[in-house]
């Protein structure tokens, strides 16, 4: 079953050798300043989570490390567990913060609260205010990249730098491959049809028909613990299923429509790190971002890497983030 057929009913710590294969060259050697601390396992991640009460609901947040703050924005339908390896690698350089988006992960959404990208921006601003953070380095993936661009335009003074991995851009949002997901959400069937089968059969989740085959570079990903961490909260109640569908519905019409002019005025340093194996987002998008941002620090292509590669290759992302931050 190919991606589009699969999406028609729903979106259904690599070693040196794997990292070299993904990078398409010699093994990546992490800078000495990158931490060798162990990434959270599922138990550690759940233990580290805390909740910030707000008008948006109770926002699930994890933190790790010290120093200037870096804010990590996860993909859809993932949550902050996606960044566990990157946060561990950078804990000696940054106060790493990751919040679960409204409608995804472990955030408990208030009744009547929008889960649209614009609302995510305001939620993140609240999180930073509550944590006493004035400015951040943003690192984002997938729909988190759309939110990052909107956050940059709304709060330009709060962004020191921006590292974008495969994500939405104005000419490709939502990407055509996502439209079957959105149509399933309109019928109220996306969450219900997509996640319970993959929770029940982790090998199916890692097959060509599941999230592993569709969005991960290597078929042994994601782990059983990751599948549980990502999908369990999305279907724990009828209300959560509706919120998951609402998140998908909020991606259409294009939430990035009209932002290019504002991005062209931004002076924030931007680095793009793009997996070439991704067939959800357009391969033209990284070059588009490189042209649009006046202070672009260029594009790195990660040969063969699929959409959620930051989870598989955290040292690579951490290396790129550190180099960007050292250049600012």
**Residue 136 pLDDT grade (very low, low, confident, very high; cuts 50, 70, 90):** very high
What confidence tens digit (pLDDT) does each residue in 229-257 have?
999 999 999 999 999 999 999 999 999 99
**Mean of pLDDT values over 292-320:** 98
Unique residue bearing structure tokens 């491959």? 177
3-class SS of residue 256: coil
- Give buried/exposed letters for 39-65 (b at 16+ CB in 10 A, else e): bbeeeebeebbeebebebbebbbbbbb
What confidence tens digit (pLDDT) does each residue in 88-110 have?
999 999 999 999 999 999 999 99
Mean pLDDT estimate for the chain: 92
What confidence tens digit (pLDDT) does each residue in 43-89 have?
999 999 999 999 999 999 999 999 999 999 999 999 999 999 999 99
pLDDT(5) > 90: no
What confidence tens digit (pLDDT) does each residue in 263-284 have?
999 999 999 999 999 999 999 9
- Contact between 177 and 280 (Cβ < 8 Å): yes
pLDDT recorded at residue 31? 57
pLDDT(321) > 60: yes
**Residue 32 pLDDT grade (very low, low, confident, very high; cuts 50, 70, 90):** low
Q: CA 257, 137, 54: angle at the middle one, nearest 5?
A: 75
Q: Which residues, at least 6 apart from 303, have a Cβ–Cβ distance to it below 8 Å? A: 22, 23, 24, 276, 277
pLDDT recorded at residue 33? 79
Q: Rounded to whole angstroms, how far apart are CA atoms 17 and 130?
A: 41
- Contact between 22 and 30 (Cβ < 8 Å): no
pLDDT(25) > 90: no
């Amino acid at each position: 079953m190919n991606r589009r057929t699969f999406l028609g009913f729903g979106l259904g710590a690599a070693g040196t050798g794997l990292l070299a294969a993904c990078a398409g060259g010699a093994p990546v050697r992490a800078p000495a300043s990158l931490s060798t601390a162990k990434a959270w396992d599922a138990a550690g991640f759940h233990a580290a989570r805390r909740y910030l009460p707000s008008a948006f609901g109770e926002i699930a947040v994890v933190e790790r490390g010290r120093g200037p703050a870096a804010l990590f924005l996860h993909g859809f339908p993932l949550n902050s567990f996606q960044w566990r390896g990157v946060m561990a690698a950078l804990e000696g350089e940054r106060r790493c913060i990751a919040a679960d988006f409204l409608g995804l992960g472990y955030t408990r959404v208030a009744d009547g609260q929008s889960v649209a990208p614009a609302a995510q921006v305001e939620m993140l601003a609240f999180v930073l205010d509550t944590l006493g953070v004035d400015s951040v380095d943003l690192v984002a993936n997938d729909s988190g990249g759309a939110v990052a661009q909107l956050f940059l335009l709304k709060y330009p003074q709060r962004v020191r730098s921006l590292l974008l991995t495969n994500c939405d851009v104005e000419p490709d949002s939502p990407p055509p491959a996502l439209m079957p997901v959105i149509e399933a959400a309109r019928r109220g069937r996306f969450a219900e049809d997509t996640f319970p089968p993959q929770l029940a059969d982790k090998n199916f989740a890692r097959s060509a028909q599941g999230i592993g085959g569709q969005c991960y570079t290597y078929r042994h990903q994601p782990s059983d613990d990751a599948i549980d961490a990502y999908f369990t909260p999305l279907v724990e109640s009828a209300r959560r299923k509706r919120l998951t569908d609402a998140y998908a519905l909020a991606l259409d019409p294009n939430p990035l429509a009209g932002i290019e002019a504002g991005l062209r005025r931004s002076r924030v340093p931007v680095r793009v790190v793009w997996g070439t194996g991704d067939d959800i987002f357009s391969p033209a998008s990284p070059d588009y971002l490189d042209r649009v941002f006046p202070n672009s620090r260029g594009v790195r292509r990660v040969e063969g890497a699929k959409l959620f590669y930051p989870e598989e290759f955290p040292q690579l992302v951490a290396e790129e983030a550190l180099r960007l931050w050292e250049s600012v």
